[in-house]
Amino acid sequence: MGLLFPVQCFREPFGVYVTVSCIAPSSPEVGEFSYDISYKVDGQTVIYKSIEAKKILQVSFETPQDNFMLIPTSLLSGGDLLELNLCIKTNVLRPIPVTERRKKGGRMPVLDILDCPICFEALTIPIFQCENGHIVCSSCCPKLSNTCPSCTLPIGHIRNRAMETVVEPTFVRCRNAKIGCKKKFTYGKESEHEKKECNFSPCSCPVQGCDYTGSVDNLEHHYVSKHKKIWKDDWFTDGCSFTVLMNTGDKMCIAREASTRFLFPVQCFRKPYGVYVTVSCIAPPYPEAKRFSYDVSYTTEDGHTVVYKSPEVKRVLEVSYETPQDNFLFIPHTLLRGDESLELKLCVAELK
């Protein structure tokens, strides 16, 4: 490929600077070049071996700060003529030491060690090594014609099991793997998933005294098989209002939504000045799960009605037994019937 390599010299009072660059974009396809430059005078030689001809888009006419040979004035031959010997070489794929890469990319040192020294991609299994223990990733082996770039010994038939075991645990499973989540993450990415999107987050059985936890589907099975006798007609369908018959001493009854099979605990908290009623939904916080709003109303014996329209049914993994601070219907004591029965009308509708 026809590349231009400007050779520049800068004359300064104490000597001449010579530098070589390469006019090319810094993309890896261009390749890497190193150069050796030498100057001879009266049997003396000044040699500068550069590991890299800097790739630039435009030459600079400033005296270089690095990557140059300096020929001291005392070695110059008096005239303006400068005879140099230049050798530019294409760098073979060369593993860059970790310390050097760290400076270049500024990445985390631990993760750097887990990168292939040739392509800088994260090492994945299998990892190959030469007899001297140099490693490269499996996709680089054929590109290097199965020759170790560091020592030229054959590479690609000995696996580095120790390094493979280092790489392996950096892929972690979701904490909910044992209850069905198949997601795997690179270390550190899993907690975001567990908090915000895992649909296997363990849900706790809302029945007081029961310590069962499981995925949202398993919870529904558990609830039906263990506790269903508590309340029989507990199904409701999205958007239809239904009656919830409670006793203010009951504290909770549980409804199930027909399409999602999510459990909707209806809780009441009795206080001297009245009763709080709140509805929640036991489901993991994953984004695709349906969201619901609810309206709950209470009608007094003489026909007055108190209504609360909630913009959203709170999704929880576990019910709280604390008196709610928001998202509740409050029925003042004076509106309650004397017999402690509480007849509520509830309508849960999917949020579109």
Give the binding site for Zn ion (CB under 5 A).
116, 118-119, 130, 132, 134, 137, 140, 148, 150-151, 153, 174, 176, 181, 183, 198, 205, 207, 210, 212
* Token pair of 246 as six digits: 């409670």
DSSP state of 76: S
Cβ–Cβ < 8 Å for 24, 55? yes
Smallest gap from Cβ 177 to Zn ion, in A, equals: 7
Smallest gap from Cβ 134 to Zn ion, in A, equals: 3
User: DSSP letters along 315-343, please?
Assistant: EESS---SPPSSS-EEEEGGGS-TT-EEE
Neighbouring C-beta atoms of residue 68, cutoff 10 Å? 19
Give 121 or 343: the residue with its C-beta nearer to Zn ion.
121
Cβ–Cβ < 8 Å for 327, 277? no
* Token pair of 75 as six digits: 């070695």
In DSSP terms, which residues pair with 83 in a beta bridge? none
Give dist(CA 275, CA 341) in Å, integer. 12
Smallest gap from Cβ 319 to Zn ion, in A, equals: 11
SS3 annotation, 93-130: CCCCCHHHHHHHHCCCHHHHHCECCCCCCECCCCEEEC
Smallest gap from Cβ 107 to Zn ion, in A, equals: 16
Smallest gap from Cβ 170 to Zn ion, in A, equals: 17
Give 88 or 119: the residue with its C-beta nearer to Zn ion.
119
Smallest gap from Cβ 147 to Zn ion, in A, equals: 9
DSSP state of 147: B
Give 86 or 230: the residue with its C-beta nearer to Zn ion.
230
Give 153 or 172: the residue with its C-beta nearer to Zn ion.
153
Give 124 or 260: the residue with its C-beta nearer to Zn ion.
124
Peptide bond into 117 cis (omega under 30): no
**CA distance to 222, 229, 338, 348, per residue, from 219 (Å):** 5, 16, 36, 20
Smallest gap from Cβ 242 to Zn ion, in A, equals: 23
Give 194 or 298: the residue with its C-beta nearer to Zn ion.
194
Give 19 or 215: the residue with its C-beta nearer to Zn ion.
215
Place of tokens 């239904």: 242
Smallest gap from Cβ 86 to Zn ion, in A, equals: 30
Give 319 or 329: the residue with its C-beta nearer to Zn ion.
319
Nearest to 263 by CA among 236, 230, 295: 236
